[in-house]
């Protein structure tokens, strides 16, 4: 029974933290900063993905076909 009580206490604290987080996120500047950070991170991950197979020329090269 003690585990149930601890889980309920943890869930209550987690809910309060989540609600507080949503209140903070209502500020537009923070939301814009998070969106820009997320976009930048995704762009970096997409750009470094070809390194998995080696760094090759990924743009148009007319001599690549010959």
pLDDT digits (tens, 9 = 90+) for 9-62: 999 999 999 888 878 777 788 788 888 999 999 999 988 877 776 656 556 656
- Quote the domain boundaries for residue 25: 2-52
**Do 50 and 58 touch, CB atoms closer than 8 A?**
yes
The pLDDT, as a whole number, for residue 23 is: 80
The pTM assigned to this predicted structure is: 0.46
The pLDDT, as a whole number, for residue 64 is: 57
Instruction: Give domain status of residue 36, yes or no.
Output: yes
Residue for token pair 């020329």: 57
Per the structure, how many domains does the chain have?
Answer: 1
Tell me how far apart the alpha carbons of residues 37 and 28 are, in angstroms, rounded to a whole number: 14
The pLDDT, as a whole number, for residue 30 is: 78
The pLDDT, as a whole number, for residue 19 is: 86
Instruction: Give domain status of residue 57, yes or no.
Output: no
């Amino acid at each position: 029974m003690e585990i149930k009580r601890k889980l309920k206490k943890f869930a209550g604290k987690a809910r309060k933290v989540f609600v507080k987080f949503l209140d903070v996120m209502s500020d537009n500047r923070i939301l814009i900063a998070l969106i820009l950070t997320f976009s930048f991170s995704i762009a970096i991950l997409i750009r470094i993905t070809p390194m998995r197979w080696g760094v090759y020329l990924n743009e148009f090269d007319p001599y690549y076909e010959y």
